[in-house]
Structure 1
Amino acid sequence: MKINTSIYYLLGISLLTTSVSCSNFLDTEPITEQQIDLTNPLKTATDAENRMNTIYNAFGNEYWQLDYFFNGDAQTDISYAGADNVQNFQQDEYRILATNSNVLRDWKYLYGFINDCNMILNYVDEINDPSLTSARKAQMKSEAAIMRALYYFHAVQLWGDVPVVTKAVIGVNSANFDEVYSQVYPARKPIQEVYDLIISDLEGSLANAPAGSEKYKANKNFAYGLLAKVYATKPNPDWAKVKQYCNNISGVSLLANYDHLFDGNHEGNAESIFEVDGNAGSVWAWGTSMFTGTDWKKFNVPSNDLVKTFDDENDLVRKASTIKFSTVSWSDNFWTSNNYPFMNKMRQTDGKQNFYILRHADILLLQAEAAVRTADYTGAAGYINQVRQRLSLPTVTISSESDGINKVLKERKLELAFEGHRWFDLKRTGKAIEILSQQKDGNGSILSYAGNINQDRLLWPIPQGQRDNNQNLTQNPGY
C-alpha cells in the first residue's frame, strides 16, 4: 500500500537501507507529500542477510569499540578516564549532566541497534523467497532476539526505566497512526517490564539459536549466559534461575594459560562463549588505539587501586596480561611519565583485535555469586578457586554472605578488568556506593570526586536532547 500524505518517520533510519550508525532512533523529522511504501522492506533473502550483517557489523562502531569499555570500567575503581574529553570526565567523576554528549550518543546507538533487530523480528517471516528457508528465518529471528535482549539489558542498567520499542516503523497512515506514535514518541516503561521483554526474547530464542560452538554469533550458550546475568540483575533476583541457566552452558572450559585469552593467537577458544571477530573486514577493530599506545594519553588509564590489588594478591600473571607500563611524554596526578600504565587486553593495533562479550570465567564467578546468595559458601569458594587454580593462586574460603560477595567482587575485578563489567558488577551487588566512595590515589588519599557518588548517580540521566524531542520522556531523580 502506498500513501500520499504528510507522515513522520524515524530520523536517520532509511526505509529500505541497512544502517542507523549515529542516527537517533527516537527523534522524528517531518516529511510532506511523499509516497512511502508500507509493504515489507525486506523483499529477498539477500535483504534479510544484509540486515543480519548490519546487526553484527555494529560491533565495529563507536559504542562497542570505545563506549562499552569506558562505561563499564572508567566509572569504577579500576581506571581513570584518561585522555582529555570533558564529557568523559563527567562520567568518571559522577557528575554527568543531562546534556552530556556521550550519554546522548549511547542512547542513539542502542535504539538504533534495537531497530535493526526489530527489522528482522518484524519482517523476515513475510519474505517470499524460496532461497530463504523457514529454518534460516527462525535462526535469524533467534539471533536478532538475543541481540535485542542484550541491548535492552544495557539500556535498563544504564538508565533504569526506558522505552520499549518493538516495531521497526517504516511509515504512517491513518490506520497505524496510534501504533506508530507510541513507537516514535514512547514513554519510559518500568524496569520490570523491560526485564520481562528481555527474558521473553532470550527464552524464546533458545529453540532456534545457533549452537554454542558458533562463538561469533548470538548463540545458545550466550543466550543461557545472558539469561543468568539478567536473573541476577533484575529486581528481586532469582538465584535458582541463575544457577539453572549457568548450568545449561556446555562445551566450554577455562584456558590453561590466561594470557592466551588476549594474545591474538587463540581466537574462538574453549573459554569463549560469545566474542567479536575483529578481522579487519566487516568489523575493523579500530578501538584498540583508544586504549594503548604512547602517541597520546589514552582512555581507561589503569588506577593505582587496581595495580595495588594485583600486587597485594601477588597476582603477577593477570597483572601482566591486563596492564602494560611504558615511558611516555606526559604525566598526571596519578602516574609519572617513566612508568605510565595502559590497559593491555586490547593490545592489537592492526584492526584485528577480538574481544569477549561473554566468557566462561565470567560465568563461573556468577555461579559463585549465586552460591553465596543461597548460603552455599563451600560451593561458592569452589567456583572462585577454579578461576584461581590456573594462576597458581592460593585457594579461598568463605565464611558469610558479606565475605563471599566481597571475594566474588575482588575476583571479578582481577579476572575481568577492562572487559566492561565492573560498573555493572558493583551496581548488581549493591556495593557501588560503598566501594566507589572510598577510591584512593597512589598516596592513599581518597579521591576528591569519590564523594560525588550517590544513589541517583547509579543511573544516567535521560538525554536532554531526547526529552526536548519527546515530551513523554521523564527524567531520572537527581538530574
Structure 2
Amino acid sequence: MIRFLQYSLLSIVFMLASCEQVLEPKPVALLADDLVLNEPNDVQPVRIGLYSALRSTAAPNMIAGDFTADYLVHNGTFTDFRELGTKQITAANGAVNSLWVGLYRAIYVANFILEKLPQVSGVSENTRKQVIAEARFIRGWANFIATQTYGDIPKVTSTDQATNRAIVRTPKADILASVLADYQAALTDLPSVASGSTDVTTNATYLNKISCQAAMARYNLYMKNWVDAERLATVVISSGVYTLQTNYSDVVLKDFTAESILEVGYNLTDDPGTSNDPVTNGVGLNNLFVSRREVIPSNQVVAALTSAESGTRSATIGFNVQNLRGSDNGWTVLKYGTASEDNNNIVLMRLAEMYLIRAEARAQQGKLTGTSGAIADLNVLRTRAKAPAVSVTAQADVLLAVERERVYELAFEGQRWYDLVRTGRAQAVMSAYTPNWNVRYERWPIPQREIQQNPNLTQNPGY
C-alpha cells in the first residue's frame, strides 16, 4: 500500500523567517493516521502540518530534478547516489522512494483537511476557505511533481486505508486534469497580496493568489499551453509582489529574498543540511554537496556556469584546490548551507523562473524581438547577471538560448531533468553525457516497496 499510510510520525514543525524563528503554535508531532481536526483550535496545527508535508517534498524533488540529469557526478560511496550519478537507477533506490513518500504524505494531509474541515463548526468562513484552498493547491502541486517524475500514478483522493491499499495507477492526463482543477479551486479562495508588499518572508512562506498563478504558469508551460503560460507569467511579473534581486549572489547565499515566490524553511533541528533529514535517507543537501562531497558539479555544468555567458551566476558553485584529487574536480554546489547559515532554505519558485517561462512561451509563439519578445525577457536576467545580451534572432536559436539560460539561472534548483524531458531533449543531451543513458530514465521507477505492498501497482517499462 502507499507508504504515507504507514508513516508512524509526522512532524509538523514549520519555520517562518530565520533558522531560529518558529511559526506559532509550537511544533507538535502527530500520527499520520490520527491527525486531529475536531474543533477550531485544531485548524492551525493541522495547517502547519500541511506546509510541513510540502516541505518534506523539497529536498528529494531537487535530487530528482538535478541528480537524474547532467549536473552532478557521484563522488562518494552511497549506492543510491551512485545509481543516479552513473544513470543505472533501480526501483529499490532510496531517493526514488523518498520523493514518492514525501509527495503522498502531502497528498494525505491535504485530503485529510478536505475531508474533515468542512465538518468542523465554529471556524470562520474566511479561515475555512483559505485552508481548504491551501490543501487543494498542495495536493495539486504534489500530484504535478509525482506525474512528471513517475508518469501514471495512483490518484489518491481520500484517507480511507482500505481503498488506498489496493489503488491502481491513473493515466497521466487524468492526473494533470486534476492538478489544474485543484489549482483553479485554490486560486478562488487563496488570499490576495498587495502590490509592493515588503513582507517577503510571508509572501514566500504562505500561498497566495499570485504564487498560485506562478504554479499555473509552470503547469501551462509543461502542457505547452503557450498563451496561458505567457499570460500567467505576466500576471506574476506585473504584480509587483516579487522583485528580482540586484545581485545574483543573494539568490545563492540568502534565504527569503524579494524574488522568492514559494520557499520552505528549516531550523537547527530539521535543516536539510543536517544528517537527520529523513527524506534524503539521513543525508541532507549540504552534507551531500559540502561535508561528504558525495556528489559534485559535473564538468559540463562547471564550464557553463563559469563561462562569460553565465555572468555572475558562477556564484552558484565554488572551487577549492584542496578538494582537487582523483576524480574530484574541486568544485562544490554553494546553494544549500548549514542550519546556522542564511541559505539553508529550499526555494520552490522564484521570479526569475517567470521570466524564463514567459520567454519560452513567447518564443514558441514566434514572439522573439521587441519589448514583448522572448529576447527581452532573457536579457532582463542577463543584465542582472552582467552577462552579454542575447544576439540570436531565429526561433530555434532563441529556444536553445532559453534552455541555456535555465541552466545558468536555475542550476541546482531541481528543474534540469524535468526540462529535458518536457522539451524532448533528454535523449540527445543525456546520451551525449553518459553511455549509460536509456530512454527509460525519462521516468523514475515506481518504488519497489510500493509494488511489493500493493499488487495492483504496475512498474514503469524497463525497470
Query: Are 1:43 and 2:43 counterparts?
Result: no
Superposition pairs of residues 39-438 of structure 1, within 5 angstroms: 41-58=36-53, 61=56, 63-65=57-59, 67-128=60-121, 130=122, 132-169=123-160, 180-181=162-163, 183-212=164-193, 214-234=203-223, 237-249=224-236, 250-251=239-240, 252-264=242-254, 267-280=255-268, 286=274, 287-293=284-290, 295-299=291-295, 301-313=296-308, 315-319=310-314, 321-328=315-322, 331-335=325-329, 340-350=330-340, 353-378=344-369, 379-438=373-432
Between the aligned partners of 1:288 and 1:9, the Cα distance in structure 2 is 23
Q: TM-score, normalised by structure 1?
A: 0.81
Query: Are 1:463 and 2:452 counterparts?
Result: no
Identify, as 1 or 2, the structure richer in helix: 2
AA at the equivalent of 2:234: N
Contact 1:75 1:93 in 2 (8 A): no
Task: Kindly state the Cα deviation for residue 99 of structure 1 after the two structures are TM-superposed.
Answer: 2.2
- For residues 371-418 of structure 1, the C-alpha deviation after alignment (integer angstroms, 9 at most, x for no partner) is 111111221111101110112221113433321221101001011111
Task: Kindly state the Cα deviation for residue 145 of structure 1 after the two structures are TM-superposed.
Answer: 1.2
Query: Are 1:474 and 2:458 counterparts?
Result: yes
- For residues 73-124 of structure 1, the C-alpha deviation after alignment (integer angstroms, 9 at most, x for no partner) is 1222222133321122212222212222322232222111210111111111
Between the aligned partners of 1:408 and 1:272, the Cα distance in structure 2 is 21
**Cα 1:160/1:9, change in 2 over 3 Å:** closer
- SS at the partner of 2:204? coil
Contact 2:66 2:416 in 1 (8 A): yes
Q: Number of paired residues?
A: 419
AA at the equivalent of 1:408: V
Task: Kindly state the Cα deviation for residue 248 of structure 1 after the two structures are TM-superposed.
Answer: 2.1
AA at the equivalent of 1:476: N
Between the aligned partners of 1:206 and 1:314, the Cα distance in structure 2 is 38
Between the aligned partners of 2:34 and 2:71, the Cα distance in structure 1 is 50
- For residues 261-280 of structure 1, the C-alpha deviation after alignment (integer angstroms, 9 at most, x for no partner) is 2333xx43321111123344
**Cα 1:82/1:98, change in 2 over 3 Å:** same
Structure 1 unmatched runs, 5+: 1-7, 22-37, 172-179, 440-449
Structure 2 unmatched runs, 5+: 14-32, 198-202, 275-283
Structure with higher Rg: it is 1
Contact 1:59 1:283 in 2 (8 A): no
Task: Kindly state the Cα deviation for residue 11 of structure 1 after the two structures are TM-superposed.
Answer: 4.0
- SS at the partner of 2:89? coil
Task: Provide the identity percentage.
Answer: 27
Task: Kindly state the Cα deviation for residue 327 of structure 1 after the two structures are TM-superposed.
Answer: 4.1
Contact 1:55 1:116 in 2 (8 A): yes
AA at the equivalent of 1:429: T
Contact 1:60 1:285 in 2 (8 A): no
